[in-house]
Amino acid sequence: ILNVEQSPQSLHVQEGDSTNFTCSFPSSNFYALHWYRWETAKSPEALFVMTLNGDEKKKGRISATLNTKEGYSYLYIKGSQPEDSATYLCAYLNTGNQFYFGTGTSLTVIP
Amino acid sequence: DTEVTQTPKHLVMGMTNKKSLKCEQHMGHRAMYWYKQKAKKPPELMFVYSYEKLSINESVPSRFSPECPNSSLLNLHLHALQPEDSALYLCASSQVYTRDLSGNTIYFGEGSWLTVV
């Protein structure tokens, strides 16, 4: 059984605050890490695909970093807005082409 | 069009019923997936179709029967399900089911909520 863990499980922040959360995954046999944003009753939306150690990706106010040697990725949201409220899922793809989702971080941004 | 469309959005079925979930994409993707998600758990892969052929079956019980009639459609036929099969069933697609250096973005549908009574 392969563990992809996300922390915290849930998070409440005030509008305008910046926040970050973590995805931990096995450092061996790493191939790629995906981040998804999933709003209730909508499709999970792909945010980033990261493959190289030290990768940093940015999309608007959301950015992510990747450390494949120690097996973690951070997702940062700068100046959180209520529309950022969603579950953020990471998914780890290994060299055996197996895809494992994390447990998700549920973010609520309070106006 | 970057949509994966799933129907129905909600389905309630009895344990003796036969029903189907449908999924459609028009992005020219040649890999399509079924995932099952129970509340507060990550999505679990059920099946992968690559070029309309079943590539992966993650030891899914035979009461779930996938079908890929063409490159745009993916069905999941349901028969003799159990109440514990109640879950959100997500369909997804990607360009291909082999890895490339730029990553393999997977596009998800909104899911079909299934309740077995």
**DSSP helix/strand/coil, B117:** coil
Contact between B77 and B67 (Cβ < 8 Å) = yes
Q: How far apart are CA A94 and CA A26, in angstroms?
A: 9
B13: pLDDT strictly greater than 60? yes
Residue A2 neighbours by CB under 8 Å, 6+ apart:
A26, A92, A94, A98, A100
pLDDT at B102: 47
Contact B107 A43 (CB under 8 A): yes
Pairing mode, if any, of strands A72-77 and A19-24? antiparallel
What does the DSSP 8-state code read for residue B5? E
Tell me: the pLDDT tens digits for B67-116? Answer: 999 999 999 999 999 999 999 999 999 888 765 544 567 888 889 999 99
Contact A93 B104 (CB under 8 A): yes
pLDDT at B65: 96
Q: Is A71 on the interface with B (CB under 8 A)?
A: no
B55: pLDDT strictly greater than 90? no
Tell me: the pLDDT tens digits for B27-39? Answer: 999 999 999 988 7
Which of B96, B98, B105, B113 has the most A C-beta neighbours within 10 Å, making it the best mutation to test the interface with A? B105
pLDDT (tens, 9 = 90+) of chain A, 111 residues, equals: 567 899 998 999 999 999 999 999 999 889 899 999 988 767 788 899 999 999 999 999 999 999 999 999 999 999 999 999 999 999 988 887 777 888 889 999 999
Q: Rounded to a whole number, what is the distance in angstroms from the first to the last CA of chain B?
A: 36
- As a three-state string, the secondary structure of chain A is CCCCEEECCEEEEECCCCEEEEEECCCCCEEEEEEEEECCCCCCEEEEEECCCCCEEEECCEEEEEECCCCEEEEEECCCCHHHCEEEEEEEEECCCCEEECCCEEEEEEC
